[in-house]
Amino acid sequence: MIFTWYIYAGMAVAAVFLLFGLGRLDENAQGAWVFRPLLIPGVLLIWPLVIWRCVILWRGEEKLDRHRMPRRRQERVAVVFACAIPIIIFAAMFVRQDPAALPPPIQLEAAK
């Protein structure tokens, strides 16, 4: 339900953005129309981010940071990632059940 409304909102944003906003914000997109339908799924899924970026670009608040890659962040994420994988795998191996090792049926009380 919520997801459906999210996508509807995305459609509205996509229409405005692709028809009007795009050419003003990105000079490489001026007059380029064939690639625009390709952007629709992206706008539908991350339209809040699209609005946020539009505001930044509109106000001209873009900084030099544009060229600073989040290397430190990537490094941390990659290390956490590289540690999480073996933890999941070994935990999954540990809990793996073997049908052959199940105890046979045991009668606790005889029939009354």
Q: Is 2 in the site for another protein (CB under 8 A)?
A: no
Q: Select the residue interacting with another protein from 2, 60, 61, 99 (CB under 8 A).
A: 99
Q: What is the C-alpha separation between 66 and 77, in angstroms, rounded?
A: 20
Q: Are 22 and 36 in contact (CB under 8 A)?
A: yes
Q: Are 40 and 14 in contact (CB under 8 A)?
A: yes
Residues 3-62 binding another protein (CB under 8 A) are 25-32, 34-35, 38-39, 41-42, 44-46, 49-50, 53, 57, 62
Q: What is the C-alpha separation between 101 and 73, in angstroms, rounded?
A: 45
- Residue numbers of the site for another protein (CB under 8 A)? 25-32, 34-35, 38-39, 41-42, 44-46, 49-50, 53, 57, 62, 64-75, 77-86, 88-89, 91-93, 95-112
